[in-house]
Structure 1
């Protein structure tokens, strides 16, 4: 009769130990590969958004899109948001014809957003994971937005256009918050579609919150953008950023705040420009 010798307890323990060692080695590798793939997708999303903004500008005399466009109540056009005395369309709605895919506005590195609007594409547009540099590209004085000429910038490769931002599930604002509901008469930007520039308190145009510790108290975590002007830091504590010339890359918050005195422990009211800010500041011309 054949000898059907089984494994001994020691042999089984050795096999289990080997499997455990391999798992400990491979699982972090798989996790890193997954994170790298999500970063690549997020940067690709930004690339397509930046090119859409550039194409939009090319069709309107090189003017940047407004952060939020408004139509009067009696002339809604195709604007998706009704605020009673006017209809609003955020910048990403305006550039959608050049993209035609709402998923481009969802960062795979962030939490998923429920289908609030009963329309997946519309939800992806109205609750995006990326925000527009409205303070410099579509400055607002409390009465009117004035989008700038894209060709007026001296350093397009060093000026932020779009950055990753918080999403509604990462805040205490409510799942369907769209930003402060300014109206048609004030022509205000809806803040669910924007990010803030560092040291925005020292410039003429309006901003909501400066960079600094707990500047956005309604945002739950620093990763989501609580201390960095709503700019999220999902990519290994870096923000994904698209620039005016169309290129994209991930940057640390310190690098993005170049030209200011921002540090991770700065208070919003204490931020200042540095002496060489005109050569280093990355958010707009001076």
Structure 2
């Protein structure tokens, strides 16, 4: 006659199952996060390739961040300089043929990073263009035609008012073109001159290895946090001016004035308003 399991034996089996679950579940979660990060990287590679193809058809000149900076064009989906029909996304769309609907403003497909798309709207893409350096700060001959003021150095140079020519870049393999973020991203000089620590205006997200998740900015940062949430991930995917993409430490991209999470995560702003103080952002840093 076969004996039944004793209570002790059953408890041992349950304990073993619990231990295995505790070991395996985090592994499964990490594998899922890694798969999303890879998908985001693949998207970014396609987008950056679109930029490179645009350069080839445009005398090596980068796409303007908008072709409606003066708000003078016929509205497509709401009008203004942020009308998707005139933004850089739509300008490089013919080379990617994925994810841009200029009529509605909706961005999908390649413009969605699986890691963070659930926290953004359909018209807020998950990748941001380094427009201060490459896309022209103004692009409008009638309004604000001059350069930025001196506090935004080195981006106050007149060369930055118009899109960059790829042949003039000092270190194309180290200059950011596109990265995890909302539509447009700004260099350390921006937040340094603004002096508010307004993290929702930086446009740089840590989309991977996220800590506690979305955090609110400091009290002085304004109320626009729901539209452009900020993540606290340690890693961001970045596409560079020579065409390659890679994952880097997010805090290296932003100003030391930007407090990320409980004051514990800060970027670096060495050199202040100089090209060297904005590595990866400025056209001519040496």
If the TM-score is normalised by the length of the shorter chain, which range does it land in? 0.5 to 0.7
Matches within 5 A, 1:126-275: 126-141=123-138, 143=144, 146-166=162-182, 193-200=183-190, 213-216=197-200, 236-257=233-254, 264=259, 273-274=271-272
Structure 1 equivalent of residue 115 of structure 2: 109
For residues 127-163 of structure 1, the C-alpha deviation after alignment (integer angstroms, 9 at most, x for no partner) is 2011100111122246356211122202100100011
Question: How far off is 1:38 after superposition?
Answer: 1.2
Question: How far off is 1:218 after superposition?
Answer: 11
Structure 2 equivalent of residue 83 of structure 1: 79
For residues 204-236 of structure 1, the C-alpha deviation after alignment (integer angstroms, 9 at most, x for no partner) is xxxxx67x74443899x9865877x979656x4
Q: Secondary structure at the match of 2:179?
A: strand
For structure 2, which runs of at least 5 residues remain unmatched after alignment? 100-108, 146-160, 207-212, 222-227
Question: How far off is 1:251 after superposition?
Answer: 1.6
**What is the rounded CA distance, in whole Å, between the counterparts of 1:252 and 1:20 in structure 2?**
35
**What is the rounded CA distance, in whole Å, between the counterparts of 2:124 and 2:4 in structure 1?**
59
Structure 1 equivalent of residue 148 of structure 2: none
Shift in CA distance, 201/84, structure 1 to aligned 2, threshold 3 Å? closer
Question: How far off is 1:277 after superposition?
Answer: 4.9
When the two chains are superposed, the root-mean-square deviation of aligned CA atoms in Å is 4.0
For residues 146-190 of structure 1, the C-alpha deviation after alignment (integer angstroms, 9 at most, x for no partner) is 211122202100100011115xxxxxxxxxxxxxxxxxxxxxxxx
Question: How far off is 1:202 after superposition?
Answer: 7.3
8 Å CA contact 2:68–2:80 kept in 1: the answer is no
Number of residue equivalences? 234
8 Å CA contact 2:64–2:163 kept in 1: the answer is yes
TM-score, with length taken from structure 1: 0.67
Structure 2 equivalent of residue 174 of structure 1: none
TM-score, with length taken from structure 2: 0.67
For structure 1, which runs of at least 5 residues remain unmatched after alignment? 117-122, 167-192, 204-208
Structure 1 equivalent of residue 43 of structure 2: 45
